[in-house]
Structure 1
Amino acid sequence: MKYLLLKHYRGGPEPVVDYGTIDSWSPDEVDAHMRYMSDFAEKLQSTGEFVDAQALSPEGTFVRYDGEGRPPVTDGPFAETKDLVAGWMVIDVDSYDRALELAGELSAAPGPNGEPIHEWLELRPFMSGRAESVE
């Protein structure tokens, strides 16, 4: 079963730890956070549970069909918004419980002073040809 783990900086319910924004962290703190993410992905590669992952730039554009042939485009998302999708990881695991376990582990990535940031991650199953229970 494939799941998408979405990293939302400053999104979700109120953070357990106020870790600020990543641009306020020291270079060593950013490096430690990125190293944790890389090590986590390598661990999942060794178990065969890793599919893909990417960090996302805070810049972006919203686009939608306007019915007239030229889609309207607006700036955004903006880094100062409450919810910024910072990256994603796709995992392929045997069960929903395993997906929860891995999401919890990823949530412990370090932030300021090396402390776990307890970030909220959005865990979403991929749709398949049939409905699957996540309970």
Structure 2
Amino acid sequence: MHQALPLSEYLVLSRGQWDEHLSPEEIQAAIDAFYAWHGRLVDEGRMRAGQRLAREGRRVSRQAVTDGPFGESKELIGGYWHVLAGSLDEAAALMAQNPTLACGLSFEVRPIDPERASAWVASNETPPARS
């Protein structure tokens, strides 16, 4: 008997902008296809709801609170989604089926770390080792 692997949660960041040559009708068709695809995966328990992000925002640092966006336009994050998969490769393969890829968007897929942060464990926030 084959036992399924436990599913882990992955955060998907939607990046980029629509291809400039696309008409509003072509973009809307991709959006409609995305929501149909996403709804099917939510129903199957493979994705959880996410949201688009509004255009405005703030960056908060110890120096100041400043207006966004926060990177170059090619780095824009347009929204986030949650994928449930047995591995990072499986989550990426699922996102490779996203209908909006053909229209200029891309997706960053990141495992969600279930552990609390610790100063003694290397993480995304840990500076590189000094030489």
Separation (CA, whole Å) in 1 of partners of 2:89 and 2:72: 33
Residues 27-75 of structure 1: per-residue CA shift (max 9 Å, x gap): 3123212212211211111211122211112222111234xxxxx2211
Tell me, yes or no, if the aligned pair for 1:2 and 1:125 is still in contact at 8 Å: yes
RMSD: 2.8
Tell me, yes or no, if the aligned pair for 1:6 and 1:88 is still in contact at 8 Å: yes
Indicate conservation of the 8 Å contact 1:52/1:91, yes or no. no
Specify every segment of 5 or more residues in structure 2 that has no aligned partner in the other structure, as ranges.
1-7, 117-131
Amino acid at match of 2:32: R
Rounded Cα–Cα distance in structure 1 between residues aligned with 2:46 and 2:70: 32
> Does the residue aligned with 2:86 lie in a helix, a strand or coil?
coil
Alignment match, 1:113: none
**Equivalence for 1:105:** 97
1:33 aligns with 2:21: no
Contact 1:3 1:91 in 2 (8 A): yes
- Distance in 2 separating the partners of 1:94 and 1:119: 24
2:11 matched to 1:4?
A: yes
Pick from 52, 63, 84 the counterpart of residue 76 of structure 2: 84
Instruction: Tell whether the 8 Å contact from 2:16 to 2:104 is kept in structure 1 after alignment.
Output: no
3-state SS in 1 of match to 2:50: strand
Shift of 1:19: 1.6
| Secondary structure at 2:31 match in 1 | helix
In structure 1, distance between residues paired with 2:66 and 2:96: 34
For residues 49-64 of structure 1, the aligned pairs below 5 Å read 49-64=46-61
Q: 1:82 to 1:100 in 2, by over 3 A?
A: closer
In terms of Rg, which structure is larger?
2
Unaligned runs of 5+ in 1: 11-17, 67-71, 111-115, 131-135
SS of 2:73 mapped into structure 1 = coil
